[in-house]
Amino acid sequence: MVFSSITFLFYFLPIVLIIYYIVPTKLKNLVLLISSFIFYFFGEPVYVLLMAFSIFSTYIFGLLIDKYKDTKYKKIFLIVSIAISISLLVYFKYTDFIISNINLFITHKLDLIHVILPIGISFYTFQMISYLVDVYKGESKVQKNILKLAMYVALFPQLIAGPIVRYKTIANQLENRTHTFEKFSNGVRRFILGLSKKVLIANVLGELVNVFLASNEMSVLYYLLYGVAITLQIYFDFSGYSDMAIGLAKMFGFEFLENFNYPYISKSITEFWRRWHISLSSFFKDYVYIPLGGNRVSKLKWIRNIMIVWLLTGIWHGAAWNFIIWGLYFGILLILEKLFLSKYLEKIPSIFSHLYVMIIVMISFVIFSGENTTQIFKNLTGLVGIGGVPLVSPESIYYFKSYFLVIIISIIAATPLCKNFVNKLKCKKIINLLEPVFLGILFVVSTSYIIDGSFNPFLYFRF
């Protein structure tokens, strides 16, 4: 079940909200827990058992780490618990990738197991690891109520594709959280904006991407259209989902941290990764980079630490070489910026540093979205006309004209311009009347697109 579906919007969510607000406070967590398991069961019936096992394992090891916190055994329990979580993630997500690469070097090929990837396993695995590490370090109290721990892991707003919510961020909210009309209305507002980003922008751009991939009439303009479209589609798809998750959380009294902060206005790749998928970046920083020594080591070890983090970042996104190349690509660029590029980026006019970021990011998402290295190479060389690719073609001109307005709207929406404009109008009473009307129109138009259209994927489901 996806948030941008009729089943979720008009059946699941309204029923859960009604029951949630009718029952006494002491039963609200139970309602959310049951609802979350139903939500997950709708898409992955068998893997509900896997998630339940993971939660139970995390609960037991959390208790053991806390019980033996003054002994050497707590480290053993932490290592074993993380090993179990990572082993499950590796088995379900990477086994076939590992086998297929081993087969490249052996005569007698191994059979692929064709295991189905459990939706959201990358996200909830990291959440459980963050909980155990924080309990180990004494930064969070152990949760002795397994139902509350289960709700933290399985909470449906963030279950499928994040953001990666740290336990210490919402530990207190599991026990005590406020429900106000203002918070609920802000949640509805945020959800509708996220839904609109997903349905009205990401899905439309995704149609252009699919048209390009199915075409044989290539040109530099067409490759550029594809690069721009995939760059904007990935942003609006994932940030739209994050907006919906944060909005849903507010409806149920929770406050999640932001996951995107207008990354496409960045003037360096370092800044870009402070603004893009913030929960993932901070996870790797706190649980991998800093434990490895961060930048408080020799230069060679510091470079090693960065490359390890970005290798893992690439692998986390998927079991394919394009993700690994994508991660290492950013790792190398970040090292170069920290060594010498940043001082030049600070001196040049901001328009050029911004252009530098957008070119780098567009190339990265062409790599990210490639099915294989051959396609990646073809798309990258096509961007600059290598291989005799013409500058334009009739098909590329047609689709450029057809999607020009959508792309312009997308570029504007990827900046704070609209937000700043609305904030300036907040002091005027008219905006208080117009905003609900505007949001209502957005919701009606979005749901109309969902009903009428069949193209409604969610890119991060495969991660």
DSSP for 240-262, written as a single string: HHHHHHHHHHHHTT--PPPS---
Strand, helix or coil at 298? coil
Number of neighbours of residue 447 by Cβ within 10 angstroms: 16
Confidence of residue 456 (pLDDT cuts 50, 70, 90): low
Catalytic member of 108, 114, 277, 317? 317
Residue 461 is classified by DSSP as G
pLDDT, residue 459, reads 57
Contact 88, 56 (CB under 8 A): no
Q: How far apart are CA 192 and CA 444, in angstroms?
A: 10
Strand, helix or coil at 78? helix
Confidence of residue 274 (pLDDT cuts 50, 70, 90): very high
pLDDT, residue 283, reads 93
* Tokens standing for residue 214: 């199915």
Among 130-144, 223-237, 384-398, 413-427, the least confident range: 413-427
Confidence of residue 89 (pLDDT cuts 50, 70, 90): very high
pLDDT, residue 460, reads 53
Q: How far apart are CA 128 and CA 124, in angstroms?
A: 6
Strand, helix or coil at 165? coil
Among 101-115, 183-197, 259-273, the least confident range: 101-115
- Whether 317 is a known active-site residue: answer yes
Mean of the per-residue pLDDT values of the chain:
91
Number of neighbours of residue 400 by Cβ within 10 angstroms: 17
- The C-alpha angle with vertex 127 and arms to 122 and 131, in degrees rounded to 5, equals 150
Confidence of residue 19 (pLDDT cuts 50, 70, 90): very high
Helices marked H in 414-428 — which ranges?
Answer: 417-425
Residue in this structure with the two tokens 């859960």, named with its chain if needed:
16
Does residue 45 have a pLDDT over 90?
Answer: no
Contact 180, 276 (CB under 8 A): no
Bond preceding residue 45 cis, omega within 30 of 0: no
pLDDT, residue 458, reads 54
Among 37-46, 278-287, 343-352, 428-437, the least confident range: 428-437
CA dihedral of 367, 369, 370, 376, whole degrees rounded to 10: -30
pLDDT, residue 182, reads 92
Instruction: Report the pLDDT averaged over residues 151-178.
Output: 87
**Greatest mean pLDDT among 39-43, 160-164, 354-358:** 354-358
The phi, psi pair for 69, rounded to 5°, reads -65, -20
* Tokens standing for residue 144: 């002795």
Does residue 140 have a pLDDT over 80?
Answer: yes
Bond preceding residue 163 cis, omega within 30 of 0: yes
